[in-house]
Amino acid sequence: MAEAFRQVIIDRGRVAAALPGYKIGAQLGAGGFGLVVVGRHKRLRRDVAIKVIPAEAAMVGGEFTSEAEMLASLDHPHIVRVHDYLEADGLGLIVMELLGGGTLTSRWRDLSQPEICAVGLAIAAGLAHAHERGILHRDIKMANVLFDTAGMAKLGDFGIARMFTGSGVTGAPHGAGTPLYMAPEQIAGGRLSPATDLYALGVVLYQLLTGAPPFDPTLSPPQLWHQHLTSPPPPVHGVPRRVTDVVLRTLAKDPADRYPDADSFAAALAAAAVAVYGPAWLADTGLPLQLTDPVRHVAVPSLPTIPPRTTGSSARPRRATADALLATPATTGTGAAGGLPPGTRRRRGALRSRRGKLLLVAAALVVTAASLLVVLLRGGQATGPLAATLIGHNGSVSSVAFSSDGVLLATASDDHTARLWDTSSRGSVDRPLATLTGHGDWVNAATFSPDGRLLATASDDHTARLWDTSSRGSVDRPLAVLIGHTDLVYDAAFSPDGRLLATASYDGTALLWDTSRRGSIAQPLATFAGHTDWVDNVAFSPDGGLLATASYDGTVQLWTTSSRGNVTRPLTTLTGHSDGIYDVAFSPDGRLLATTDGTGSTRLWDTSSRGTVDRAPAILLGYGDWILDVTFSPDGRLLATASDGGNAQLWSASSRGALDRPLATLTGHTGAVNSVMFSPDGRLLATGDNSNARLWSTSSRGSVDQPLATLTGPTETPDDAVSGSHRSVAFSPDGRLLATATGVDGTARLWYVDAVD
């Protein structure tokens, strides 16, 4: 076998000949079953890891194909993804996801106890997925836990995995596995089951928590096996008892004394972590996780109470609260080893959905005059009607958008994909027109060009992509991959003429792109690099001449879109906010710019002089710490704001000076109002919280606690729960349909309200 490995290392031409579509790069490592090299797909420009298994080590005949098919069937965020496999010239080749964040072996000493528990949940989630498909890993160890650049832990190297049925599969005595991590039944040739993998996971967690494995790694394999079979783990010191008890149960000698499955273990570990480290423990780690609903509900037991209003420097620590609100089912962030600035892990979870900023964006709807009559006849309560439920995403749906003709709906998801749907679909729809793949991380936003021919997606994988909206089926090749950012891309916006695309990134820049270019584009038309913290949102002026960038550094900057190259000095910088900027919007005529922050204030700036702001802005003092959303009415006369204090407010867009009395305060929501939207004719305002949307007349004045209508989904969700919460809404261009994206169940919904006799 060693000779075969030497031949593979020397004769790289064999690997290149077997994979003509890839450029073969450096060797990443070698082990007992093969070696791994870097590859790059020549057309997709996608970097991959290629596992090369010589014939002597590969399974004979169809066994390699069966094994590879088994691995390729594992599609889970916490398992290294297999893209392709083949046999050629005496080699077995498996093309896998390439991860740039290192292994647990290289990172474990920097992990805190809560972070260790979070990694344990990630591994357990991957194991649960594999076990549900009858696959045992059989070689869980630190070297087989890898991280992507965002800090997400993934279980890799299923090279000795085996299928099991019923109560398990029989292993050979002293069979395949790593002696330090082998369960007693694995050593003795007993029945293997999911509990076998949990034992190895217990060894990993014991070592992470205590700094040393439970058994002596300096011993010979026979001596190690004897310890596994007969010796209890040494007592644990410096680790809370509840956490220790969970880990030690996985190390029971008898499989029947361990947890019955990975989800049971994960729920127990999550409960222990909540009890010991507090209810916000998971969000505080900043590590990306995707958990099943039962485990997530234990790990994030409830939405925390919004703390009293704070100002100044005290606002920043409250990001942990926002992170906790967003621990559904994937809590986002980055690991410290990913090359990110200190504190970025906790900040990254704060602003997930494109329109909601910090909290989950709630539902809204559009109605015509006839539709309003229906709602009023129903006494102010409506439960639908639901036109279509769009099913298929494997993660939270983060945004929805209609094409300009209303024919298509785009959805973006944490499952790394965007999808295109036919808006004429009705009922339960599980087949999108197109599934757009290729992003390596969460897709934060999807937006159509003004003519509807292009779709732009923005992703945590540091890229934005342009897609042909006429695509159908599974599409992994976009028209263009925009690769100029060095951190996650949070927002994307087309210019009014569709010729430019602006992207906002946590790398502190906004980039301007030519939408006519194709292929992999590393050089933008312009780099706007004037901010000192992440750029969260971008907005073009209606004439396309200005770009506004909103940043967590507390400023909004205005740039001319004719700029080219690296630009560090904006036309103007709008200062005065005392916290990060959450939303920015131009008025329809482009003469005003609205900006919101985390201290309860909205500012209206006069931008009519093309970038030179000559007078102080109007300051609109709302309720609550966070103004989460802002929008102008279609005629530009009104401004609506959404507050975490459970209300929305209507303001005159002609306001001047400092005001604390809006035209109307719309109350009655029992949770944070995360979204406000005007109907296309401007006569109605929809507001949304976690569980319902409400309709108000825009002619309302004073304090109003009775909406025209309250609209709820098929299953109403309590305001203190996360499941079922809407994260994004969009009106169809004709105002007849409303699209909503629910944050946790992977669905989007289309709604309409019909007139009745």
Active-site amino acid positions: 139
Residue type, 270: A
**CA–CA distances in Å: residue 189 to residues 171, 176, 177, 183, 196:** 5, 10, 12, 10, 12
Contact of 365 with 693, CB cutoff 8 Å: yes
Task: Give the Cβ contact number of residue 222 at 10 Å.
Answer: 10
Tokens 């290294």 -> residue: 80
**Among 260, 326, 363, 421, which residue's Cα sits nearest to residue 742?**
363
Task: Tell me the two tokens of residue 551.
Answer: 């940043």
CA 132, 415, 691: angle at the middle one, nearest 5? 95
**Within the chain, what is the greatest distance between any pair of CA atoms?**
84
Q: How many CB atoms lie within 10 A of CB 429?
A: 17
Q: What is the DSSP letter of 85?
A: E
Q: In this structure, what DSSP letter does residue 80 have?
A: P
Q: Tell me how far apart the alpha carbons of residues 292 and 287 are, in angstroms, rounded to a whole number.
A: 16
CA distance 275 to 278: 6
Closest Cα partner for 187 from 179, 217, 195, 231? 179
Report the relative pairing of strands 47-54 and 91-97 from DSSP bridges. antiparallel
**By 3-state DSSP, what share of the chain in percent is helix, strand and coil, each rounded to 5?**
20, 30, 45
How far is the C-alpha of 638 from the C-alpha of 632, rounded, in Å? 6
333 HSE (CA, 13 A, CB side): 31
141 is in an annotated binding site: no
Q: Are 617 and 603 in contact (CB under 8 A)?
A: yes
- CA dist 555 and 538 (Å) reads 12
φ, ψ of residue 455 in degrees (nearest 5): -125, 130
Q: How many CB atoms lie within 10 A of CB 718?
A: 13
Going by C-beta distance under 8 Å and a sequence separation of 6 or more, which residues neighbour residue 673? Answer: 362, 628, 642, 643, 644, 645, 646, 647, 648, 687, 688, 689
Burial of 174 (0-12, 13-18, 19+ CB in 10 A): middle
- Concatenating the DSSP letter of every residue in 412-479 gives EETTS-EEEEETT--EEE---SEEE---SS-EEEEEE-TTSSEEEEEETTS-EEEEETT--EEE---S
* 113-132 helix and 194-210 helix, angle to the nearest 10 degrees: 170
Instruction: For 529-549, give one letter per residue: b (16+ CB within 10 A) or e.
Output: bbbebbbbbbbbbeebbbbbb
> For residues 187-201, b (16+ Cβ closer than 10 Å) or e, as one string?
bbebbbbbbbbbbbb
Radius of gyration of the chain (CA): 27
Phi first, then psi: give them for residue 589, nearest 5 degrees. Answer: -90, 0
Cα separation of 127 and 149, whole Å? 21
Q: Are 546 and 591 in contact (CB under 8 A)?
A: no
Question: How far apart are the C-alpha atoms of 722 and 85, rounded to whole Å?
Answer: 40
Length of the chain: 757
Which residue's structure tokens are 């945004």? 399
List the binding residues for ATP.
51
List the binding residues.
51
